[in-house]
Structure 1
Amino acid sequence: MAATCCARLSKWYMITTNLLFACLGLAFIAFGVIGNKSGFKGATLFPDGVFKQVAILGAIIGVASIIGILGAFVKRKWILYIYMLIVIVALVYQVVIGVKIYQKGANPPAYVAPLWSQAKDSYRASLQNEFSCCGYNNAMDQPAVTEKCDPKSGHISSDPPCYDALKNYVDTAFGRFYIVLFAALAVEVLALTNAITVLCTRSIYREEDEEERARRRKSGIRLDDMSADTPTTVGSHNNYNTADMNNYYGNQHGAYKESSNAYSHDSYDAYNQQNAYQTQGRYY
């Protein structure tokens, strides 16, 4: 019964874990698609291709969650093995993305400076408009000509330089993003441990045995009566325990012994009576 309960709990635990896993995958896909379309402030500051990688990660997690839910219902070990392999791939891929973002965000000035100097005027102009700044260290430091920032025409912008705004954004946004990535690794680890638990449970207590026990319970047979010491068959129901059966057979054996002794005593009396008749016949 304990093994049956453990098997059922591991099944529903597997389903719950993979539903959470699926939500994480959908969140990564949404973030990757929105970021790839520059749908939020500062999206263009992220490294090239990172949003596509996050979307791919979300798709891998989504596939793994579907296989995990399928493995909770279909009792095949190879499904769980494939599931664990995909989860490991997602875990490693997620670590790679997290390390990449961490390296860029660990030193914001070293990341932002070459990004600004090597960028095209259109890219710098979009950053100036997005962060309401002009130039990098000052208005004369590689500015992009816009309506608010055009130092060459004599129009000095009142907007601050872009250095502080870009540095603070990279420090804050990148830091939050790789923290979320590394924290989400707990979901992958949880999925792996859950799959291992399901495999161990099924190896200890096979599903065929569970179905057989369920069939016996429906037929009214007590599972504790199905032992080698109990003289019952699969198609019968035993209402007596072992002690009752031993007392019954012990009483029957005692009655048999008493009957045997009485028979022997009667036989002995008959034999003596026959001898007495023979003796009397001789006298006559």
Structure 2
Amino acid sequence: MPTKLMMIFVGFDFLFAGCGGLLMGFSLLSEQRMQESPRKDNVAENLLLDQCPLTAGVVNAIFIFVTFLLSLPALFLPSNRGWLRMQGWLVVVCATFTLSIGIAVWVDTLQTRVELSELWARESPLLQSLLQQRFNCCGYFNSTAPPFVQDATCTNSLVAAQKGGCIGPFSSFANRYLDFIFTAAFGIVGVDAILVLCVAMVLQYRSEQERYRHIDEKNGVGGF
């Protein structure tokens, strides 16, 4: 009958694999979404996702799946410790990879306004217009710096001056969106850390069981 420790270990091992699936799904769906034609309802998200390390997310998810598959022998070999040690080190590698992705996104949130200004400047008038429509604003800093794109939202300079620039609403949206992404990444790292602790405890448990077995053999009670 499996011990409570092993049940917790198995639970977090499968949760670890589920985090890999979440990471893979988000990265692939985001890349697919970025291929869609720009619209008012997706332009902001797509521009932000283009700045995220989505390819690294896919690679990280593959590492997680490989680590999970290599952990299966440790589940079916109750006295084995070699597979467990290898799993523990691989989980540390995956956690470091995920943490690096999360930190990269987090650093972007620290300089959102500067980066969005550069992003705005290199985008086409079409995308700038879609952003103006999305956030009901005109221009980035204001209607004149840089100049706004005339569209259905910013019909003339008077209307544009009254609406104000996009820097406020766009940066606020970007911070919320990126906060969600790096918080999810740090949450996955938390699951990884708990799994490493579980691996360490199972290793300790199996080491003690092995030591007791050797003591029993020396005492001649190995058959009981």
TM-score w.r.t. length of structure 1:
0.61
> After superposition, what is the alpha-carbon deviation per residue over 1:75-99, rounded to whole angstroms, capped at 9, x for unaligned?
4333223312221111111111111
> After superposition, what is the alpha-carbon deviation per residue over 1:93-132, rounded to whole angstroms, capped at 9, x for unaligned?
1111111111110132122111111333344344334434
RMSD of aligned residue pairs (Cα, Å): 3.5
Match of 2:47 among 19, 24, 44: 44
Distance 1:121 1:90 in 2: 41
Q: Report the secondary structure of 1:133's partner residue.
A: coil
Distance 2:75 2:149 in 1: 57
Q: Is the 8 A contact 1:28 1:55 kept in 2?
A: yes
Question: What does residue 25 of structure 1 align with?
Answer: 20
Distance 1:131 1:55 in 2: 31
Alignment of 1:188-207 (within 5 A): 188-206=192-210
Q: Report the secondary structure of 1:42's partner residue.
A: helix
Q: Is the 8 A contact 1:42 1:169 kept in 2?
A: no
1:93–1:33 CA distance, 2 compared to 1 (3 A)? same
Structure 2: 5+ residue runs without aligned partners? 37-41
Q: Report the secondary structure of 2:142's partner residue.
A: coil
Match of 1:168 among 148, 156, 172: 172
Q: Report the secondary structure of 2:51's partner residue.
A: coil
Match of 1:12 among 7, 21, 24: 7
- Per the TM alignment, residue 164 of structure 1 is displaced from its structure 2 partner at its CA by 1.2
Letter in 2 for 1:103: V
Q: Report the secondary structure of 1:135's partner residue.
A: coil
Distance 1:123 1:147 in 2: 14
- Per the TM alignment, residue 150 of structure 1 is displaced from its structure 2 partner at its CA by 5.8
> After superposition, what is the alpha-carbon deviation per residue over 1:189-212, rounded to whole angstroms, capped at 9, x for unaligned?
1111111122222222139959xx
Question: What does residue 105 of structure 2 align with?
Answer: 101
Letter in 2 for 1:48: Q
Letter in 2 for 1:19: F
Distance 2:50 2:178 in 1: 10
Question: What does residue 143 of structure 1 align with?
Answer: 148
Q: Is the 8 A contact 1:60 1:90 kept in 2?
A: yes
Question: What does residue 39 of structure 2 align with?
Answer: none
1:156–1:63 CA distance, 2 compared to 1 (3 A)? same
Q: Report the secondary structure of 2:68's partner residue.
A: helix
Distance 1:90 1:10 in 2: 23
Alignment of 1:151-230 (within 5 A): 151=156, 156=159, 160-206=164-210, 209=213
- Per the TM alignment, residue 49 of structure 1 is displaced from its structure 2 partner at its CA by 4.6
Question: What does residue 88 of structure 1 align with?
Answer: 92
Distance 1:73 1:207 in 2: 20
Question: What does residue 216 of structure 1 align with?
Answer: none
> After superposition, what is the alpha-carbon deviation per residue over 1:158-207, rounded to whole angstroms, capped at 9, x for unaligned?
86532111110122222232223223322111111111122222222139
Give the percent of matched residue pairs that are identical in Structure 1 and Structure 2. 15
Question: What does residue 59 of structure 1 align with?
Answer: 62
Distance 1:180 1:102 in 2: 11
Letter in 1 for 2:24: I
Distance 1:74 1:129 in 2: 60
TM-score w.r.t. length of structure 2:
0.75
Distance 2:155 2:90 in 1: 53
In our comparison, the structure showing a higher alpha carbon Rg is: 1
1:133–1:69 CA distance, 2 compared to 1 (3 A)? farther
Distance 2:211 2:138 in 1: 69
Distance 2:129 2:97 in 1: 34
Aligned length: 210
Structure 1: 5+ residue runs without aligned partners? 214-226, 236-284
- In the alignment, is residue 118 of structure 1 matched against residue 113 of structure 2? no
